[in-house]
């Protein structure tokens, strides 16, 4: 870590050391047991494989309010106002936190960093006032912006959607939001720009013209792409699928649904996907299924690294802790050639009764180590090559004879009928060996 990153901007984390790698046997809960940023694994430093980011909203704007009661997290640095002054002061706490964790990136929505003003002109001005301070802090610490985004779901004006709202003024309002945030993301060197659908969806077809809403969303993305090109913003556009919550039918249900949308509007070369573990669960899919759908379609962009609870149907946004799932995910990411512009963003929050600043650190340390351990395991599995070989061998019948003719496009129904009639019956299937493979996978953990 560069010496500059050791500086403390605030006194709020005085009792917390800079989190260092101490190895698997350490009994210090404020240390990394698996994440050793500069250690080379599978040809690359761990920090460059994982590209981990702190998210501004949960960790610095969340108060843990829920529908049954108000927030419970009282942070000493907050003065209770939602002023620009407070917004600027808060940035120093954020960077103090990130540098103590030694992570290379952060992510934010426009409204996380700066409040709305009395009118839209003032709102835009507020955003730029804070962005200037963020740029100084990035330069002082070396922390970079993984992605920027705009919050187009909290304010009541977005209650019927953003670019898919039936109200054209809301569409225009959102054009301003994304335009400003693209400018800010460029200003801060953001490596990606994320669109999570927010309230883009519907609750009943009795009031919804799905075709028009879909066309409006397609037009919105084209305008965003045109503007990014115009200003020379080089960051990767990402859509973050989510199946439900807040609306019943979210338009970006899952990876496959997003792909169909991108292809319908000719956006498949412009936009990749940001896959969130918890959102995959809400779609009734495995996280790794969603990642692999992206990989085989060339749209694996980035990951919101959190975890949901398989027993309930909402976005619990917990810190990831299942290193075996992280290992399987890392296998897919490695197969994809690793991240390019993307990374792992901890879109996760501490529980409502985890009141202390220490808990913010424990949550992140747990997530960082789960993924770091997953990377170590995945690298071992990839190097051994046994699982890859098993999968390759399973399809060996397509490497020769009739299978090869099918894959090369030479076969027809007639040629195949002639072949199989002569044979009279298909060759017997080999065992798929799931139990053997699950045991083999565990042996690397």
Q: Binding residue for ligand XLS (CB under 6 A) from 110, 276, 290, 325? A: 276
- Smaller CB distance to ligand XLS: residue 131 or 238? 238
Q: How far apart are CA 28 and CA 114, in angstroms?
A: 36
Q: Single out the catalytic residue among 49, 58, 96, 112.
A: 112
Given 49, 58, 109, 364, the catalytic residue: 109
Q: Which of 183, 290, 315, 369 binds ligand XLS (CB under 6 A)?
A: 315
Question: CB neighbours of 287 closer than 8 A, spacing ≥ 6?
Answer: 275, 277, 280, 281, 325, 329
Closest CA to 182 of 242, 248, 226: 226
Dihedral Cα 353, 355, 357, 362, nearest 10 deg: -20
Closest to ligand XLS by CB, 183 vs 304, is 304
Per the CB < 8 A criterion, the answer to whether 217 and 200 are in contact is yes
Residue placing its CB nearer to ligand XLS in the complex, 200 or 276: 276
Rounded alpha-carbon distances, angstroms, from residue 293 to 113, 308, 370: 33, 20, 23
End-to-end CA distance of the chain: 29
Q: Is residue 155 annotated as a catalytic residue, yes or no?
A: no
Which 331-360 residues touch ligand XLS, going by CB under 6 A? Answer: 347
DSSP of 196-229: E-TT-EES-GGG--HHHHHHHHHHHHHHHHHHHH
List 96, 276, 290, 292, residue binding Ni ion (CB under 5 A):
276
Q: Is the peptide bond before 246 cis (omega within 30 degrees of 0)?
A: yes
200 binds ligand XLS (CB under 6 A): no
Q: Is 309 a catalytic residue?
A: no
Residue nearest ligand XLS by beta-carbon distance: 196
CB of 348 to Ni ion, least distance (A): 9
Give the shortest CB-293-to-Ni ion separation in angstroms.
Answer: 17
Q: 331 to 350, contacts with Ni ion by CB under 5 A? A: 347
Considering CB under 6 A, how many residues would be counted as binding ligand XLS? Answer: 10
Q: Nearest approach, Cβ of 347 to Ni ion (angstroms)?
A: 4
CB 364 within 8 A of CB 98: no
Query: Cα dist. 26→38, 55, 97 in Å?
Result: 18, 27, 22
Q: Which of 200, 304, 325, 369 binds ligand XLS (CB under 6 A)?
A: 304
Residue closer to ligand XLS (CB basis): 41 or 283: 283
Decide: is 240 part of the binding site for ligand XLS (CB under 6 A).
Answer: yes
- 292 belongs to the binding site for Ni ion (CB under 5 A): no
Burial of 176 (0-12, 13-18, 19+ CB in 10 A): middle
Q: In the complex, which residues of this chain contact Ni ion (CB under 5 A)?
A: 276, 304, 315, 347
Q: In the complex, which residues of this chain contact ligand XLS (CB under 6 A)?
A: 109, 149, 194, 196, 240, 242, 276, 304, 315, 347
Residues catalogued as catalytic: 109, 112
């Amino acid at each position: 870590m560069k010496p500059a990153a050791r500086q403390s901007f605030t006194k709020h984390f005085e009792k917390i050391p800079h989190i260092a790698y101490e190895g698997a046997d350490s009994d210090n809960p404020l240390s990394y047991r698996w994440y050793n940023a500069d250690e080379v694994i599978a040809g690359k430093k761990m920090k460059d494989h994982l590209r981990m980011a702190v998210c501004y909203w949960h960790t610095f704007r969340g108060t843990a309010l829920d529908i049954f009661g108000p927030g419970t997290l009282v942070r000493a640095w907050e003065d209770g106002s939602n002023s620009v002054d407070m917004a600027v002061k808060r940035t120093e706490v954020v960077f103090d936190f990130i540098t103590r964790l030694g992570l290379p990136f952060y992510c934010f929505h426009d409204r996380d960093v700066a409040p709305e003003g009395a009118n839209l002109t003032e709102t835009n001005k507020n955003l730029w006032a804070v962005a200037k301070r963020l740029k100084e802090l990035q330069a002082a610490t070396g922390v970079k912006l993984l992605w920027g985004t705009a919050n187009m779901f909290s304010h009541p004006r977005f209650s019927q959607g953003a670019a898919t709202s039936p109200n054209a003024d809301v569409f225009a309002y959102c054009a301003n939001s994304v335009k400003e945030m693209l400018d800010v993301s460029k200003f801060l060197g953001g490596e990606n720009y994320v669109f999570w659908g927010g309230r883009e969806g519907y609750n009943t077809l009795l009031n919804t013209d799905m075709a028009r809403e879909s066309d409006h969303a397609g037009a919105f993305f084209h305008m965003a792409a045109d503007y990014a090109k115009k200003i020379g913003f080089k960051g990767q556009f990402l859509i973050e699928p989510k199946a439900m919550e807040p609306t019943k039918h979210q338009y970006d249900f899952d990876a496959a649904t997003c792909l169909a949308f991108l292809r319908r509007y000719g956006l498949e070369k412009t936009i990749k996907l940001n896959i969130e573990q918890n959102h995959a669960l809400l779609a009734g899919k495995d996280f790794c299924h969603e990642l692999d759908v992206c990989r085989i379609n060339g749209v694996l962009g980035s990951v919101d690294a959190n975890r949901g609870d398989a027993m309930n149907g909402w976005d619990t946004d917990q810190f990831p802790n299942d290193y075996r799932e992280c290992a399987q995910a890392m296998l897919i990411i490695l197969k994809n050639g690793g991240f390019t512009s993307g990374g792992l963003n901890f879109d996760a929050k501490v529980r409502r009764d985890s009141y202390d600043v220490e808990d913010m650190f424990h949550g992140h340390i747990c997530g960082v180590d789960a993924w770091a351990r997953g990377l170590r395991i995945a690298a071992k599995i990839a190097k051994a090559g046994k699982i890859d070989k098993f999968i390759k061998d399973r399809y060996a019948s397509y490497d020769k004879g009739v299978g090869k003719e099918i894959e090369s496009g030479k076969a027809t129904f007639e040629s195949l009928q002639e072949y199989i009639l002569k044979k009279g019956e298909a060759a017997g299937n080999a065992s798929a060996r799931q139990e053997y493979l699950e045991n083999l996978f565990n042996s690397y953990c």
